[in-house]
Structure 1
Amino acid sequence: MKLYAGRTGRIGRKKAGLVLASALFVTCAAAQESPIKLGILTDMSSLYADNGGQGSVIAAQMAVDDFKGKVLGRQIQVVYGDHQNKADIGATLTRRWLENENVEVILDVPNSAVALAVQGITREKKKIFLATGAATSRLTGDECSPTGVHWTYDTYALSQGTTRAISRLGEKTWYFLSADYSLGAQLEADSRKVIDATDGRVVGAVKHPINTPDFSSFLLQAQSSKANVIALANAGGDFVNAVKQAGEFGITRYQKLAGLIVFIADIHSLGLQSAQGLLLSSAFYWDLNEETRTWTKRFVEKTQKVPTMIHAGTYGAVMHYLKAVEAAGVLDGPTVAAKMRATPVNDFMTKNAKIRDDGRLVRDMYLFSVKAPGESKYKFDYYKLLATIPGEEAFRPMEEGGCPLLRKQ
């Protein structure tokens, strides 16, 4: 009796082991078959939607399609979410994606406050964050991450281009109209350093809430300062509204407006009559060369919109990430990030660029002026190239950023 029971127990344990092994095999097979997810965390419905938004989702999908849709034998899937320009919502989406939905990399994030929250979470989880839409230079400064790459542009580079160019025109006094969150604060801080270095003077500043419909009180304060230049340290819909209302008040007849972060979608919304003469810096313009024009033609066919530097940057970041995954043979965040840093970036937007140890992709930037209506010859013909700024000059020297990673080396 005891022998029979023992034999039955051995058979039961053997069956249980077979069941467990089968379950493990099924689980592993499912993991192998499940898609590799890329998460586009963006603004789908508010003031940055034209600059990132659905265009970033489409740009990412274009890169996946050009990569033939698979890496490491698995399908690649693009998912997206709307952070609504709120850091808590962006953080909640990020955690859900990484902890429950197997998202491997997060991209875009056109809001600096949200991007800083995402950087902290991806650093903790050892996942990749490719900030193609965020601006704050803190992402490669005190908030740098071994798995974070600041891809397209930043507040320092934009300040170096636009603010320095205007200072060279002899303008000496400045007034800042800044968005009251991380983007505005960092743009203003980085620009002030350039103004001080060029013997300029800031005569005043005012902050406005994000997504402000009425700029009248802020603009009247700027007008009364009699500053040579009113610097707009805001973006997207806020920038567009400020420029339109400044024109309505007649401010632009006596004072220059400087857009510190301007996208071609903003110029399209404003129209050349309102935007003509603006100086701006950008990491991309669709009409620079044959490669940029070819890619843009594909993008416009899918969206009917002109691509911004965020859209172009998102495409390039996805391609570089997928190449790094393929070369590394794994999805592990730190391993893939190291491979991305070790590999030069080359695409239609960026040539022979390197990702530094602090996570900054160092690429050329461009200084443009907005054409007058009579100078524009065809659709989206908005910019006149004034100068190419080499990446080494455009971006903050790595040792000046305060990135903690550098102290550990």
Structure 2
Amino acid sequence: MQTCLATAAVLMSVASASAEISNGTVKIGVLTDMSGPYADNVGAGSVLAAKMAVEDFGGKAAGVPVEVISADHQNKADIGLALARKWYDTEGVDTITEVVSSGVALAVQQLSREKDKAFLATGPGTPDLTGKACSPVGVHWAYDNYALANVATAPLVQKGLKSWYFLTADYSFGQALEAEASKVILANGGTVLGSSKHPLNSSDFSSYLLQAQASKAQVIGLANAGADMMTALKQANEFGITSGGQRIAALLVNLPDIHALGLNSAKGLIFADSFYWDANDKTREWSKRFMARFGGKAPGSLQAAVYGAVTHYLKAVDATKSDAGSVVVAEMKKMPINDFYTTNATIREDGRVIRDMYLLQVKQPSESKYPWDYYKILSTVPGDKAFRPLKDGNCPLVSAAK
């Protein structure tokens, strides 16, 4: 009799725990670029990071199993939105994470708001996610274009590199990155001489580079990322632009980019990022576990960010016993963030994770002592100095009094 009562109590407890969890499973969708220009920076590595977070959490949250699925949005808003809608409507997905493309991210954040699903944006750069398009179910995790431009551009202008010309990816991410960098340049007494817009996944930057060269700007700013950034940088070196005296500033750099370029091509680059695998004992410990399962490849910041975002989400699901986006994200905002990737961070009212950013420089080949030993940390910039002030974002969630 006692055994029967104990069994009944366990079953009631499980039923109660899962009462607020739809379908009895917490399902996480990693919507990412698996085959395009950003695949090395996110892609399969982001999926692995999400799975590692679930495993390290014990495979369950709120007493129910946690599942990870993934899909390729191909950096197209219509495809990404269709996948997200299918996941939410028919496949029981509770939260979507990663979504490296800004255009896809803006569309998916709006859909997530309509469906009351938590949206964990780790890869996109547009600050609109916590600005005019902010959402009570949206969290922007790793970095944004404001922080990248603010942390990396200002030091260069302050060193006397005053005149700039941009090569810009012609979609929302690149346009926003150029705009934010331009604001920083002008605020520090510099000038912007012009820009050339190029389509996503370009293979030939010769005409754009010639325009930049002709501008005689001291700095050519690359407001692009992934394969586009690497191709532009390689071709700039081939054309002798850097040897002619102009500097190249890549505004968004990920560790896999540097690996693909090689230190001879990337040496000396100064840029901002939110994570470096070899920064300290905690980052190295997690990164070596990742590398052991990912063919020896070290994680970039966007892959590490997925782990952090998923872990924090699962903590909130466990605490609330709910998978409703508004409930879970409200709990996420209450809890401090502490893990190998982020220390003593918070989620602001507008959904922006306020965390330290780093000013980094690519090492000279002679300075690199072992595989993936690529960066020097020049400085650490506190989150309240790196990211856009809350009052300047025009987020409708923020009280007018602030």
- What letter matches 1:147 in structure 2? V
Q: Does 1:51 align with 2:41?
A: yes
**Structure 1 pair 38–225 and aligned structure 2 pair: CA distance change class (3 A):** same
In the TM superposition, residue 32 of structure 1 has moved relative to its aligned partner by 7.2
Match of 2:267 in 1: 276
- What letter matches 2:391 in structure 1? E
Distance 1:109 1:214 in 2: 26
Partner SS for 1:267: helix
Cα pair 1:32 1:74 within 8 Å, conserved: no
1:51-102 CA distance string (max 9 Å, x none): 0000000000000000110112211110001000100000000111111111
Q: Does 1:260 align with 2:251?
A: yes
Distance 1:389 1:71 in 2: 34
Distance 1:234 1:215 in 2: 12
Distance 2:323 2:112 in 1: 14
In the TM superposition, residue 331 of structure 1 has moved relative to its aligned partner by 1.2
Match of 1:97 in 2: 87
Cα pair 2:205 2:232 within 8 Å, conserved: yes
- Normalising to structure 2: TM-score of the pair? 0.93
- What letter matches 1:334 in structure 2? S
Q: Does 1:233 align with 2:223?
A: yes
Distance 1:32 1:161 in 2: 42
- What letter matches 1:69 in structure 2? G
**Structure 1 pair 32–100 and aligned structure 2 pair: CA distance change class (3 A):** closer
Which residue of 325, 335, 340 corresponds with 1:343?
Answer: 335
Partner SS for 2:103: helix
1:8-407 alignment to 2 at 5 Å? 34-253=24-243, 254-304=245-295, 305-407=297-399
- What letter matches 1:303 in structure 2? F
* RMSD of equivalent CA atoms: 1.4
Cα pair 1:38 1:103 within 8 Å, conserved: yes
Cα pair 1:365 1:388 within 8 Å, conserved: yes
- What letter matches 1:115 in structure 2? A
Moved >6 Å (runs of 4+): none
In the TM superposition, residue 332 of structure 1 has moved relative to its aligned partner by 1.4
- What letter matches 2:307 in structure 1? Y
1:205-232 CA distance string (max 9 Å, x none): 1100000011111111101111000000
- Normalising to structure 1: TM-score of the pair? 0.92
- What letter matches 1:65 in structure 2? E
The size of the alignment, in residue pairs, is 382
Distance 2:197 2:218 in 1: 19
* Unmatched tracts of structure 1, length 5 or more: 1-24
1:159-192 CA distance string (max 9 Å, x none): 0111112112210100010000011111011011
**Structure 1 pair 291–109 and aligned structure 2 pair: CA distance change class (3 A):** same
Distance 2:57 2:110 in 1: 29
In the TM superposition, residue 33 of structure 1 has moved relative to its aligned partner by 6.7
In the TM superposition, residue 408 of structure 1 has moved relative to its aligned partner by 7.4
Cα pair 2:22 2:92 within 8 Å, conserved: no
- What letter matches 1:300 in structure 2? M
In the TM superposition, residue 330 of structure 1 has moved relative to its aligned partner by 1.2
In the TM superposition, residue 204 of structure 1 has moved relative to its aligned partner by 1.1
Partner SS for 1:393: helix
* Unmatched tracts of structure 2, length 5 or more: 1-14
1:247-278 CA distance string (max 9 Å, x none): 10001112100011110110001000000010
- What letter matches 2:258 in structure 1? I
Distance 2:206 2:399 in 1: 47
Partner SS for 2:372: coil
In the TM superposition, residue 314 of structure 1 has moved relative to its aligned partner by 0.3
Distance 2:265 2:347 in 1: 37
1:351-373 CA distance string (max 9 Å, x none): 11100000000000000111110
Partner SS for 2:242: helix
Partner SS for 1:50: coil
Distance 1:72 1:321 in 2: 12
**Structure 1 pair 311–293 and aligned structure 2 pair: CA distance change class (3 A):** same
Cα pair 2:142 2:353 within 8 Å, conserved: yes
Distance 1:192 1:158 in 2: 12
- What letter matches 1:200 in structure 2? G
In the TM superposition, residue 329 of structure 1 has moved relative to its aligned partner by 1.5
Cα pair 1:177 1:232 within 8 Å, conserved: yes
Partner SS for 1:170: coil
